[in-house]
Chain A
Amino acid sequence: MDNIHSALMIGVIALVTVLLRFLPFLIFRGNKKTPEFITYLGKVLPFAIMGMLVVYCLKNISFVSAPFGIPEIIAVAVVVLLHLWKRNTLVSIIGGTACYMVLVQLVFGG
């Protein structure tokens, strides 16, 4: 019973996820021209969504309890500055992540 319920649940989660991913393509499919408003959204949404994803990644920071989001603020600043300086994605990500790991493990850890 338990295993069957678990398998069904994974099936449901997979199905809903796949439906959400396919829905826009099913609605605006074929060689029909995509409506102008959707084309417009397609152009501007990436900029807005990337902002939303950054906020989503940082959503669990607490500014009222230690360490007050300080590691995240510093590490995000390091990523931004490195990227403006070198414009190399790998350098920015490795630098920012290393900085964050040092901060949470050694500086604010414990």
Chain B
Amino acid sequence: MKKNTKTVKKAFIATLPVMAGYSVLSMGFGILLQSKGYGVGWALAMSCFVYAGSMQYLAVDLLAGGVSLITAALTTLMVNARHLFYGISMIDKYKNTGWKKPYLIFALTDEVYSLNCGDLPEDVDNPSLYYFLVSLFNQSYWVIGSVIGSLLGSVIPFNTEGIDFALTALFVTVFVEQWKSTKNHIPALTGVIASVLCLLVFGADNFLIPSMLLITAVLTFTRRLERRQNNG
């Protein structure tokens, strides 16, 4: 049991940056949803069952616009297709996690992925509990924040403009951390360059799927090259 206390502590500390980013983003979501006439029950349901940050913001527009179910499905597919990649890179890490596995997969958001895809912190001797708690803590912040946002409306005592940058900052630190952890910078550079290229070509609303295809193509190609070099 003593061992697990350490794991709980490490998981909590790891999620603090997400708590900062989520508390603002989720409250913003609750406020926005409320302003379109959807009360606290809707906010709670969406944060419990959808649990996908940027998609929930988009969903507010879809709900308010009363679009068709097919449009909603296709939009979700476009925006959340990147989650396929998360799954592919977590298959081995989430193996042998037992009863925790369905929830681990359900809760695999950008932020959970960024915390769980790397090496475990030192002294964590129960990896599956650590992954589980990181996922659970993050979703709790998200759910609590959206409920508070929905209830309190816009009564926030200070100017929070820009605080959502916390999530960008989180991804940047993970990127730097990964960069320092390896000598092979081709995957990281591929990710940045392919995404920027696709952003320029396809625009902000449509660049994720082309980026994913381009990244997969380039990484497949570099693997072939490496193999040929190793064999020849």
A54 touches B171 (CB 8 A): yes
Q: A10-B59, A42-B92 are known contacts. Are A16 and B173 too (CB-CB below 8 A)?
A: no
Q: Name the residue on A nearest B109 (C-beta).
A: A21
Considering the chains assembled together, what is the distance between the CA atoms of A17 and B211 in angstroms? 19
Considering the chains assembled together, what is the distance between the CA atoms of A55 and B192 in angstroms? 7
- Chain A hits for B20, CB < 8 A: 93-94, 97
Considering the chains assembled together, what is the distance between the CA atoms of A39 and B92 in angstroms? 8
What secondary structure prevails in chain B residues at the interface with A? Answer: helix
Q: A47-B191, A48-B190, A105-B159 are known contacts. Are A28 and B91 too (CB-CB below 8 A)?
A: yes
Comparing B82-90, B136-144, B145-153, the segment that makes contact with chain A is: B82-90
In the complex, what's the smallest C-beta–C-beta distance from A87 to chain B, in angstroms? 8
What string of 1s and 0s marks CB contacts (under 8 Å) between A12-47 and chain B? 111011101111110010000010011111111111
In the complex, what's the smallest C-beta–C-beta distance from A106 to chain B, in angstroms? 10
In the complex, what's the smallest C-beta–C-beta distance from B4 to chain A, in angstroms? 23
A13 touches B72 (CB 8 A): yes
Name, among B38, B91, B113, B196, the residue most crowded by chain A CB atoms within 10 Å (CB to CB): B91
Within 8 A of B (CB), among A45-68: 45-60
- Chain B hits for A53, CB < 8 A: 110, 114, 171
Considering the chains assembled together, what is the distance between the CA atoms of A10 and B117 in angstroms? 28
What string of 1s and 0s marks CB contacts (under 8 Å) between B113-131 and chain A? 1100110000000000000
A22 touches B46 (CB 8 A): no
Considering the chains assembled together, what is the distance between the CA atoms of A24 and B16 in angstroms? 29
- Chain B hits for A55, CB < 8 A: 191-192, 195-196, 199, 211
How many residues belonging to B are interface residues under a CB distance threshold of 8 Å? 87
- Chain A hits for B52, CB < 8 A: 17
In the complex, what's the smallest C-beta–C-beta distance from A1 to chain B, in angstroms? 10
Considering the chains assembled together, what is the distance between the CA atoms of A75 and B87 in angstroms? 30
A56 touches B85 (CB 8 A): no
Within 8 A of A (CB), among B204-229: 204, 207-208, 211-212, 215-216, 219-220, 223
How many residues belonging to A are interface residues under a CB distance threshold of 8 Å? 66
B80 touches A57 (CB 8 A): no
B62 touches A50 (CB 8 A): no
Q: A41-B216, A104-B162, A109-B161 are known contacts. Are A17 and B169 too (CB-CB below 8 A)?
A: no
- Chain B hits for A80, CB < 8 A: 172, 176
Q: Name the residue on B nearest A34 (C-beta).
A: B91
Q: Name the residue on A nearest B16 (C-beta).
A: A90
In the complex, what's the smallest C-beta–C-beta distance from B207 to chain A, in angstroms? 7
Q: Which residues of B contact A (CB under 8 A)?
A: 16-17, 20, 38, 42, 45-46, 49-52, 55, 59, 62-63, 66-67, 69, 72-73, 76-77, 80-92, 94, 101, 105-106, 108, 110, 113-114, 117-118, 159, 161-163, 165-179, 182, 185-192, 194-196, 199, 204, 207-208, 211-212, 215-216, 219-220, 223
8 pairs of residues in contact across A and B, judged by CB atoms under 8 Å: A10-B46, A12-B76, A13-B72, A21-B83, A49-B86, A58-B168, A89-B177, A109-B161
